[in-house]
Structure 1
Amino acid sequence: MNLIDTLRSKQRLSQEQGEALYDLDLFTLGEFADNIRRERFGKKTFFNSNRHINPTNVCADVCKFCAFSANRKNPNPYTMSHEEIMETVAKAEEMGAKEIHIVSAHHPDAGMDWYMDIFKLI
């Protein structure tokens, strides 16, 4: 059974299969996900005012799907302080945001506690 067939059967993926998702063609995976969405929700949709925050773009990995990561040799790497993140959240709330969407890199010096502290603050 190939990976798409396993997804169609709604069986839980093994870790190896989950990791194999990274190797699938992005358009194939997107089309499959859209078909599942249509099956589950039809044409229902909603609008949500949110704010995307990228706490850092310094990354130890090189993922195919990533559009914003930098490495330390990049002239524009950044890491926001918790205070800067909370200022961004406050501004988003003032503008009516109902959701904060966090996308971040795998900073080699920031452990899970750093990210968990962000979530707790928000």
Structure 2
Amino acid sequence: MPNLTFTTAVRKWSQDRYAVEFPGQWEATRYRFFIAGEVLEELGDLEPAIDAETALPVFDDQLGTLLPAADFVWSRSDKLQDEYVITSELLQEFRRDNHSPDEKDSPAEDGKQAF
């Protein structure tokens, strides 16, 4: 599993190389999270998949919801644009792999998302 956390995701966009953009929205502000192409290659093929009944948002105890359930992900270069849909279950696995076992994956008490 790649060394990947969404709280420290690459946020710089580079037009001349592959990157993955994780769009998210909080109130009226849009946020973009980018993951370098090397990480994308480590993931292998991403099959389009949505399971609406089990999809959960990617949540951070301090930052709130980083990604809504089953968000879209784009792989881009200067000549190519591919679109993927990945399940939030996979995103949650990334998060679990990068947090200590004693951390909790629980929503904020007031239920608000915070950035």
Please classify the TM superposition score into its range, dividing by the shorter chain length. Answer: under 0.3
**TM-score, scaled to structure 1:** 0.21
Higher helix share: 1
* TM-score normalised by length of structure 2: 0.22
Answer with 1 or 2: which has the greater Rg: 1
